[in-house]
A and B are shown apart, each in its own frame.
Chain A
Amino acid sequence: MAFGYELHPHTADIRISLWAETFPELFQAAVVALAEILFPQGCEGRPLIVRRRVAVTAPDSTALLVDFLSEVLLYSQIRKALFCRFCPQSVQETFVEGKLRGCRVEGFQQDIKAVTYHEAEVYRLSQGYGARLIVDV
């Protein structure tokens, strides 16, 4: 796995740091981080029976990541599902398309209101990509 994430405290919210070797993997990292906040036990031991195609266009790479993760949050809430995997199919600077896979959960442990643009940033690392995001909880 060539990506990772960390969750940091923020006064009333949660700050997410992401890193990945490639731009598409940044989106995979974001999905896993969101799942960790919603339901820390993750999909372990549960069948990944919920699937959802996602396609998002945005004006730049930062807005793309925020809008993409907002879509994942929306589908999680509507489908009552925890999406813990993202299989990217087409990823460009302002467009992302792929498939989400996840499991049914009996409820989330954290009520995320939104993925915010506040201090959001996608940036290049010497090897790969990094990003910062804040979710409102």
Chain B
Amino acid sequence: MVRREQLHQCGPVVWEIPPTVRPDMRVPARIYASAELLEQILRDRSLEQLINVATLPGIQQAAIVMPDVHEGYGFPIGGIAAMDLQEGVISPGGIGYDINCGVRLLVSELSVTEVQARLEQLAKSLYQAVPSGVGRGGRFKLNVRELDKVLEYGVQWALAEGYGEEEDLNVIESRGRIPEADAGAVSREAKERGRDQLGTMGAGNHFVEVGYVDKLFDESIGRVLGLKQKQVVVLIHTGSRGLGHQVATDYIRIMLAALSRYNIRLPDRELACAPLQSPEGQRYFRAMCAAANFAWTNRQLITWEVRQTWQEVFGESGGRLRILYDVAHNIAKIEQHTIEGRTQRVLVHRKGATRAFPPGHPETPPMYREVGQPVLIPGSMGTASYVLVGAPGSMEQTFGSTCHGAGRQMSRHAAKRAVDAERLRSELRQRGIVVQAGSVRGLVEEAPIAYKDVDAVVHVVHTAGIARIVARLRPIAVIKG
């Protein structure tokens, strides 16, 4: 285990493990955390995993973790690693099995008081409209040709089929499509696994949540984002479902078999990787982009399901649901960054980390460019979620990245032992939160006690100057698989 005394404090919320701690480290390991969160982080093996990441070929500047970090498999969850495009590797484990797991925020024209009377009905209808799809299919069943279009065109396919509005594209990271995607790089098995899962949220920590703007910390930025006090919003958290999981499984196996060809030695098999410029690396990159396009399309189809439901429940008086933004938090992207004074393109792995481009960045949608790219941070079930915007420090310190959520601190099993389902339901009800969940087990596993304090997590990234807190959201209905 990494010991507290091996860390150097570099700033109020920044710590570093120097590369001298282990001879195979190529760069330092950097941690963003308050002193309290650091104590929690030191309890699991996140930092050993971070040191392992610091050994990967071609890693630039530092292996980085956010305050919501926790132990994963291979890479820690909450990690960022930028790789040189020529000398560096690409690692499926640095992205995660749920490729382009991400968050989308829809904002309504209604206030919380206008929604309250029909909240139960809304929650029930959303639960029926957005299936979990765990072990069963959703409403969209595509043939292989259509699925290939989804993989290569992403949200553009959905709009062409009538599942959205043209302006939706402007507020989705990468406009819902990475053009390097190649459906031919995705296995038949992966396609088969995901074929009927579009428009489904999955289980685990995935959800659709109805909430409202509880506090605006920055009213001028809030105005640019179109956020108002008490405004009702809908948060969608899901990813590429079985298709993405199978892409990762396939390529980890392929890359493990190729390690000796590229003379790569790893401390953990889950760090399986290949040089980005190798045939295996290139093929995985194209498959990963295709899975990312699938995930954005999945969130688009869920948006369509939510919009339909909204209209059924509220009719014309419900107004429209506008997408505020959609961010990926499990992905690798080729981006331009400045490293030691030199501007270069690198492959940024974000596993449980969110892109957070600052004001003025050319990839931020024009309507948000003066304030920075919106960042969506879901809290644990029943607690607050946050809207932030990217800040200039993200480009200087973290390859344009920030945290992605509250961060799990308790195992699912431990949560089940610690939490009584009925008591949890009743507590949530007392706080005015309606719950529609597929299973009691799923509910208790996601109880707030199982997660870190999201307020403390976002405070760290705000203090570090990598993202700026704009608004706090409070849930009123949670819909889970």
* Interface of A toward B, CB cutoff 8 Å: 7-14, 38-39, 59, 63, 67, 70, 74, 76-78, 80, 105-111, 113-120, 134, 136-137
Q: Is the CB of B256 within 8 A of A63?
A: yes
Q: How far is the CA of A114 from the CA of B330 in the complex (A)?
A: 15
Q: Is the CB of B202 within 8 A of A111?
A: yes
Interface size class on chain B is: 35 or more
Q: Is the CB of A78 within 8 A of B192?
A: yes
Residues of chain A lying within 8 A (CB to CB) of residue B257: 59
Q: Is the CB of A9 within 8 A of B411?
A: yes
Report the minimum CB–CB distance from B164 to chain A (whole Å). 26
Q: Is the CB of B97 within 8 A of A11?
A: no
Residues of chain A lying within 8 A (CB to CB) of residue B72: 12, 118
Q: Is the CB of B411 within 8 A of A114?
A: no
Q: Is the CB of B77 within 8 A of A108?
A: no
Q: How far is the CA of A56 from the CA of B308 in the complex (A)?
A: 45
Looking at chain A's contact residues, the main secondary structure is: mixed
Q: How many A-B residue pairs have CB under 8 A?
A: 105
Q: Is the CB of A118 within 8 A of B135?
A: no
Q: Is the CB of B136 within 8 A of A11?
A: no
Given A74-B193, A106-B136, A136-B97; 5 other pairs, CB 8 A cutoff: A12-B408, A74-B189, A111-B203, A118-B73, A120-B269
Instruction: Rank and list the top 4 A-B pairs by shortest CB-CB distance, nearest first.
Output: A9-B413, A118-B73, A9-B411, A108-B135
Report the minimum CB–CB distance from A118 to chain B (whole Å). 3
Residues of chain A lying within 8 A (CB to CB) of residue B136: 80, 106-107
Known A111-B481, A116-B73, A136-B73; judge A11-B249 contact (CB<8 A).
no
Q: Is the CB of A10 within 8 A of B411?
A: yes
Residues of chain B lying within 8 A (CB to CB) of residue A136: 73, 97, 245
Q: Is the CB of B134 within 8 A of A108?
A: yes
Q: What are 27 inter-chain pairs, A to B, with CB distance below 8 A?
A: A7-B413, A9-B412, A9-B413, A10-B71, A10-B411, A11-B70, A11-B71, A11-B409, A11-B410, A39-B135, A59-B257, A77-B193, A78-B189, A80-B135, A80-B137, A108-B134, A111-B202, A113-B245, A114-B245, A114-B248, A114-B249, A115-B249, A116-B73, A116-B97, A117-B270, A118-B268, A119-B73
